[in-house]
Structure 1
């Protein structure tokens, strides 16, 4: 055996021996805008994956302009792509409807769910000074909805559904100004959608005092959204549970991801959820019961984990 051949053989053996020491699964996680609660969640998941796998999994968080963009990028992404979006958008993409009309792609049929994350939760936040305790009392008040977000669109929809569309003044300002505007008396309330406890609602409740309105069963039925209960004590001064609506959000990948990676991501997520809840209470609201909000196929690697723990799955998930 020549020196060159011996060297090549030794190098190959060294690579085989050393590889496991540095082998790493890299994942790109695309969620939301920097500064949003969902971007914070993405960072938490990234840190949890690293800690829970002893750095075997490395998650890079990417900023996103929204859930529709996250779905659209499936067409050009590889096996390492994980993204968040409401289940309803996946269904629309696969059917080529609404914002996906004329933009259908076979890649959408390959989207696979991994695990639910905290839901988008509607908050109708009124200042104590306004005296508003119910939707009917919002008449004549000034409300900030913001613009372009799910919360703004949903808030406007609810005002119309509940007969308030022409009975309130809509403030011309961005949601980022809501807390200061509430403190200064420029508005009587604001509408925000985010996982609870929502940072801007925490700030408003602590600094100026607020009432977060509850929806009646009839109002929830009209909204056609998923009901959700915010436990008493979530916000300063909140002595009773708040009944509101939500939009489920799920972490997805595609069939390009191998089963072992999907299994590891899903198992680590649930194993680390309690640790994440120690840093942010919104994880306490997540349970395997929320798998029922997933309306399309779950990745086989994730299905393997859910079967191991005895979670309830439907035929649509397989």
Structure 2
């Protein structure tokens, strides 16, 4: 009799949950990513396709954007509901610092910490550069002023003792343009921040360039001021001609959302993402091997959305 009562109770619970979902009002998810040629664009497309096909009341779509800072602004302004950015930019947006000074978005919430986005410093063979300090006076691509990558250059070169950007002959260009210029030996080096392997780095290293390490002393200096940095190793053989591990720094990519998305929606988005992570990983290498137990680690103490928190507690992560 007790077993029968438990079964009836479980079935009733499922029916209530099913009815609740069936009665949930339609939700549209606009998900900006990055440039259409980048890995983040494909990651966003895979996630939104999953949500759109698996959650009956959700209509989700992704589109190209100018990247993390633009994504955060779009979510803050209500033009988008969910997106991805590095945890440092999320922290700055939440607290109204750096690029977001005067434009804080205190209602930013996290769905999941995803994969690490490592800093990859590429230099030509003839440049003679082996450390960050030796970039001084060199012709170096630092990305667009105000961008996430520009901020990474500033943080790291200052930690290395350089006066940034004055100590560099700086070039303000995209990853793609930087890879072309490295290939043609028209610049000495470039800062590329992207999931591994990055096509721009592969292109550059196929033409005789190399990765240089970011030493522990620089990482330790960074961590004294910034809560989001972690150590990362690019394994030997990741790129053409890379016969040794390369130590560097990394920041975790974070999937975040508007705080006013209702709890049930974010719970379903989070649960659907993680219960289908193998499928996503097969489609997008940056999502391969992700585990929910790491979703709340290395995210600069950013606040979880209550719907995501509910899921992580349910599976024992919290």
Question: What secondary structure is seen at the aligned counterpart in 1 of 2:296?
Answer: helix
Q: Per-residue deviation at 1:223? A: 2.7
Give the TM-score normalised by the residue count of structure 1. 0.76
Give the TM-score normalised by the residue count of structure 2. 0.76
Question: CA-to-partner distance for each residue in 1:273-294, whole Å, 9 max, x for gaps?
Answer: 3333333322237443241233
Q: Per-residue deviation at 1:220? A: 1.0
Contact 2:69 2:148 in 1 (8 A): no
Alignment of 1:281-300 (within 5 A): 281-284=285-288, 286-287=290-291, 288-294=293-299, 295-300=301-306
Judging changes above 3 Å, is the alpha-carbon distance between structure 1 residues 242 and 48 closer, same or farther for their aligned structure 2 residues?
farther
Q: How far, CA to CA, are the matches of 1:127 and 1:73 in structure 2?
A: 37
1:185 — aligned with what?
Answer: 185
1:16 — aligned with what?
Answer: none
Computed over aligned residues only, the root mean square deviation of the Cα atoms, in angstroms, reads 3.2
Q: How far, CA to CA, are the matches of 1:152 and 1:57 in structure 2?
A: 36
Judging changes above 3 Å, is the alpha-carbon distance between structure 1 residues 228 and 44 closer, same or farther for their aligned structure 2 residues?
same
Question: What secondary structure is seen at the aligned counterpart in 1 of 2:243?
Answer: coil
Higher gyration radius (CA): 1
Question: What secondary structure is seen at the aligned counterpart in 1 of 2:111?
Answer: strand
1:37 — aligned with what?
Answer: 39
Question: CA-to-partner distance for each residue in 1:104-134, whole Å, 9 max, x for gaps?
Answer: 5xxx343221112333321101234545444
Q: Which moved more, 1:184-193 or 1:150-159?
A: 150-159
Question: CA-to-partner distance for each residue in 1:134-183, whole Å, 9 max, x for gaps?
Answer: 44554664322232332233224423432455765434654432222122
Contact 1:133 1:211 in 2 (8 A): no
Judging changes above 3 Å, is the alpha-carbon distance between structure 1 residues 249 and 102 closer, same or farther for their aligned structure 2 residues?
same
2:316 aligned to which of 307, 310, 315: 310
Question: CA-to-partner distance for each residue in 1:192-237, whole Å, 9 max, x for gaps?
Answer: 11222222112222x3133211222101112333222223322222
Question: CA-to-partner distance for each residue in 1:57-95, whole Å, 9 max, x for gaps?
Answer: 4321133334344334445428x8112234444444444
Q: How far, CA to CA, are the matches of 1:111 and 1:129 in structure 2?
A: 45
Contact 2:75 2:82 in 1 (8 A): no
5+ residue gaps, structure 1, are: 1-18, 314-318
Contact 2:36 2:64 in 1 (8 A): yes
5+ residue gaps, structure 2, are: 1-20, 224-228
Contact 1:27 1:57 in 2 (8 A): yes
Alignment of 1:229-308 (within 5 A): 229-284=233-288, 286-287=290-291, 288-294=293-299, 295-308=301-314
Question: What secondary structure is seen at the aligned counterpart in 1 of 2:214?
Answer: coil
Which structure shows the higher helix fraction?
A: 1
Contact 1:227 1:245 in 2 (8 A): yes
1:154 — aligned with what?
Answer: 152
1:7 — aligned with what?
Answer: none
1:62 — aligned with what?
Answer: 63
Q: Per-residue deviation at 1:185? A: 1.6
